Amino acid sequence: MFCVVAVADDSREATSSLNSPGDASQAWADLAPDYERARSREDSLDRLVEWPAQRDLLGDVTGRSVLDLGCGNGGKLADLVREGATAAVGVDVSGNFLGAPPPGLELIQGDLNELDSVAGLAGRTFDRILFLQSFGYAKHPVRTLQAARTMLADDGFILLTRTHPIRYAVERAEQNGTALGEEYYSKDSYTYRTGWNEQIALTKRTYTISDLVNEFSAAGLWIETAIEPQLSEDARRRYPHKQEWMNKYLGILIFKLRPLPAD
Ligand SMILES: C[S@@+](CC[C@H](N)C(=O)[O-])C[C@H]1O[C@@H](n2cnc3c(N)ncnc32)[C@H](O)[C@@H]1O
pLDDT of 130 above 90: yes
Do the domain assignments include residue 200?
yes
Ligand 1: atom nearest CA of 75 is 9
Per-residue model confidence as pLDDT tens digits over 136-145: 999 999 999 9
Distance CA 50, CA 238 (A): 17
Mutate to test the pocket of ligand 1, among 28, 121, 159 (most ligand atoms within 8 A of CB): 28
Distance CA 52, CA 46 (A): 8
Distance CA 252, CA 80 (A): 21
Protein residue with its CA nearest to atom 26 in ligand 1: 72
Q: How confident is the model at residue 234 (pLDDT cuts 50, 70, 90)?
A: very high
Q: CB 56: neighbour CB atoms within 10 A?
A: 11
Q: Are strands 126-132 and 105-109 parallel, antiparallel or unpaired?
A: unpaired
Q: Are strands 65-69 and 86-92 parallel, antiparallel or unpaired?
A: parallel
**11: buried, middle or exposed (CB in 10 Å: 19+, 13-18, 0-12)?**
exposed
Q: Average the pLDDT over each of 5-9, 86-90, 112-116, 239-243 and give the range with the smallest value.
A: 5-9
Per-residue model confidence as pLDDT tens digits over 194-222: 889 988 888 888 999 999 999 999 999 99
Q: Is 92 in the pocket of ligand 1 (CB under 6 A)?
A: yes
Do the domain assignments include residue 115?
yes
Torsion of CA 81, 84, 85, 87, to 10 degrees: 80
Mean per-residue pLDDT for 31-45?
94
The whole-chain average pLDDT of the chain stands at 90
Do the domain assignments include residue 101?
yes
The tally of domains found in the chain comes to: 1
Mutate to test the pocket of ligand 1, among 117, 137, 139, 203 (most ligand atoms within 8 A of CB): 137
Q: How far is the CA of 186 from the centre of ligand 1 (A)?
A: 25
Torsion of CA 169, 112, 103, 35, to 10 degrees: -30
Q: Which helix (H) or strand (E) holds 234?
A: helix 233-238
Domain that holds residue 56: 3-258
Q: Is 104 in the pocket of ligand 1 (CB under 6 A)?
A: no
Q: Is 73 in the pocket of ligand 1 (CB under 6 A)?
A: no
Distance CA 217, CA 235 (A): 35
What are the φ and ψ backbone dihedral angles of 219, each rounded to 5 degrees?
-90, 5
Q: What share of the chain is helix, strand, coil (3-state, %, to 5)?
A: 40, 25, 40
Do the domain assignments include residue 185?
yes
Q: Is 111 in the pocket of ligand 1 (CB under 6 A)?
A: yes
Q: How far is the CA of 32 from the centre of ligand 1 (A)?
A: 9
Provide the CATH number for the domain around residue 92.
3.40.50.150
Of residues 5 and 130, more confidence is placed in 130
Q: If we measure between CA atoms, which residue out of 208, 133, 132 comes closest to residue 165?
A: 208
Buried b (16+ CB within 10 A) or exposed e, 202-225: bbbbbbeeeebeebbeebbbeeee
The 65-69 sheet, strands edge to edge: 105-109, 86-92, 65-69, 126-132, 152-163, 252-259, 221-227
pLDDT of 22 above 60: no
The predicted pLDDT at position 23 comes to: 60
Please calculate the CA angle 130-184-39 and round it to the nearest 5 degrees. 40
Do the domain assignments include residue 103?
yes
Of residues 19 and 245, more confidence is placed in 245
Do the domain assignments include residue 216?
yes
Do the domain assignments include residue 263?
no
